[in-house]
Structure 1
Amino acid sequence: MEFTDYHVRLAAYALLVDESDRVLLAWWNGEGHSEPEWSLPGGGVEFEESIRDAMVREVFEETGYHVRPGPLLTDDFFTARGRSFDGWMRSQRFVFDATITGGELGTTEVGGSTDHAAWVPLAELEGQRRSSIVDVALAARAVREEQA
């Protein structure tokens, strides 16, 4: 398929794991078309926004924390049929390491796709309904730690 034959969605996320082995997750409400699930804080990149700036903005909106972007941890994509348009889409997802620089836990967006955020122990993720981006990011983190 040629690039002019499908839509592209860019999304940027942060992987934040604290010293107690808890990961910061955002509860995505499904927006009326999907089952709610845990996701990494992050989301869509606006048209005139850099990927890193989008990650910083999205993390604040979904968690209440200000962050400083670190290095790109991984990128990933999936393809699907569009829900709001006829045709195919490619969702390109970028996951960054990040450092919390301020703020406090609490979702700041109103009427958005995130209902709340929480620090979830990694040991309790098994069996939790979660987006594939959580597993993609944690697998990339494990590879990085093995290489260190």
Structure 2
Amino acid sequence: MEFFEYHTRLAAYVLMVDDQERALLAWWNGEGHSDPEWSLPGGGIDYDESILDGVVREVFEETGYHVEPGALLAEHHFTAQGRTFDGPFRSQRFVFEATITGGELGTTEVDGSTDYAQWVPLADLEGQPRSEIVDIALAAREAKK
């Protein structure tokens, strides 16, 4: 399939794990079409912004923290049929390491897809509803050790 035959969604996320082995996660509310689940802070990149600017904006909206993106930790894509338009789409996702540079914990977006953010112990994630991107990021973190 040629690039002009499908839509593309760019998304960027961060994985931050503190010294107590807790990950900063965002509770995605499912937006009325899916069950709620934990996800990484981040999301869709706007048309006119860079990937790094977009991830900084998204993380602030979802967590209240200002961050400095670090190294690329993982990249992943999937294809599916569009929910808001006809035809196929490709979702290209990037996960970065990041450092908190300011702000305080608290979701700043209004009527968005994230209800709240929380530091979640990694040991407590087993059995919790979570997005595939969480597992992709944690596997990349383990592979890097």
Q: TM-score, normalised by structure 1?
A: 0.97
Deviations 1:2-47 (A, max 9, x none): 1111100000000010000000000001111111110000000001
- Letter of the structure 1 residue corresponding to residue 37 of structure 2: E
SS of the residue corresponding to residue 93 of structure 2 reads strand
Deviation at 1:48, TM superposition (A): 0.9
Partner of 1:121: 121
Is 1:23 the counterpart of 2:23? The answer is yes
Partner of 2:53: 53
Q: TM-score, normalised by structure 2?
A: 0.99
Aligned length: 145
Partner of 2:73: 73
Identity value in percent: 73
Partner of 1:92: 92
Tell me the C-alpha RMSD between the 2 structures. Answer: 0.5
Show structure 2 runs of 5+ residues with no match.
none
Runs of 4+ in 1 over 6 A off after TM superposition: none
- Letter of the structure 1 residue corresponding to residue 43 of structure 2: G
Show structure 1 runs of 5+ residues with no match.
none
For residues 12 and 58 of structure 2, the distance between their equivalents in structure 1, rounded to whole angstroms, comes to: 8
